[in-house]
Amino acid sequence: MTAPGTERSDALEPVRDALLRAARKDAEAVLTEAHRAAAAVLDEAQARATAILDEARTQGTADGTADGAALRVRARRTVRARELAARREAYDELRRRATARVRRLRTESEYPSMRDELVARARQLLGADASVSEDPDGGVVATAPGRRVDLTLDALAGRALERFAAQVETLWAP
């Protein structure tokens, strides 16, 4: 004899097995879909991360290139400014030496005749009535109404340097 209710449970066994199989199949399908969805999310996240890194690299390279270019421009400007300052210093030194050398002419025995020639030149430029005075550092300054002529030794040295400016430039040309 069989225990009461056992027959019914044996009779439901195939249904229960079918329901379990269906539930497992559904669970596997849900799990498979969850794995696929998770993989898709991870793939999308990886793609976004890669894109962000690529953009960051590109931007970093662009920034680095721009910063490098700006640094090179500043360096060239600094070098050029220093070069021009050195040239100015050399020119100023040349001008000081030339002026000092020309001023020494006052101590030479030929200076009085040179001064007379400068007075004559001043009167030639401004007229016989021009007022001519000797400069303490040598040479003369002449004035006439509304006009002035500077024939001081300093001015003559400066004009001589200006006349030879192209040759002076060769002193520091490569």
Query: Over the stretch 109-142, which tens digit does the pLDDT of each residue have?
Result: 999 999 999 999 999 999 999 999 999 999 999 9
CA–CA gap between residue 90 and residue 164 (Å, rounded): 15
* Structural domain contains residue 156: yes
pLDDT in tens, 47-92: 888 888 888 898 888 888 888 888 899 999 998 999 889 888 888 8
Average pLDDT estimate for 33-57: 85
Give me the helix-helix angle, 6-103 and 153-163, nearest 10°.
130
* Structural domain contains residue 58: no
User: 3-class DSSP state for residue 142?
Assistant: strand
95, pLDDT greater than 70:
yes
Domain of residue 100 covers 65-174
pTM of the full structure: 0.57
What's the pLDDT score for residue 112? 95
CA–CA gap between residue 42 and residue 49 (Å, rounded): 10
Q: Give the side-chain half-sphere CA count within 13 A for 150.
A: 9
Split into its structural domains, the chain has a count of 1
Q: What is the DSSP letter of 155?
A: H
Contact of 152 with 137, CB cutoff 8 Å = yes
Average pLDDT estimate for 92-96: 89
Query: Which residues, 6+ apart, have CB-to-CB distance to 168 below 8 Å?
Result: 91, 94, 161
| pLDDT classification of 154: cutoffs 50, 70, 90 | very high
Query: What are the two backbone dihedrals, phi and then psi, of residue 136, each rounded to the nearest 5 degrees?
Result: -60, -25
* Structural domain contains residue 11: no
* Structural domain contains residue 12: no
Higher pLDDT, 150 or 86: 150
* Structural domain contains residue 10: no
Contact of 101 with 156, CB cutoff 8 Å = no
What's the pLDDT score for residue 20? 75
Contact of 130 with 120, CB cutoff 8 Å = no
Contact of 130 with 123, CB cutoff 8 Å = yes
* Structural domain contains residue 107: yes
Concatenating the DSSP letter of every residue in 1-67 gives ---TTHHHHHHHHHHHHHHHHHHHHHHHHHHHHHHHHHHHHHHHHHHHHHHHHHHHHHHHHHHHHHH
* Structural domain contains residue 167: yes
152, pLDDT greater than 80:
yes
* Structural domain contains residue 77: yes
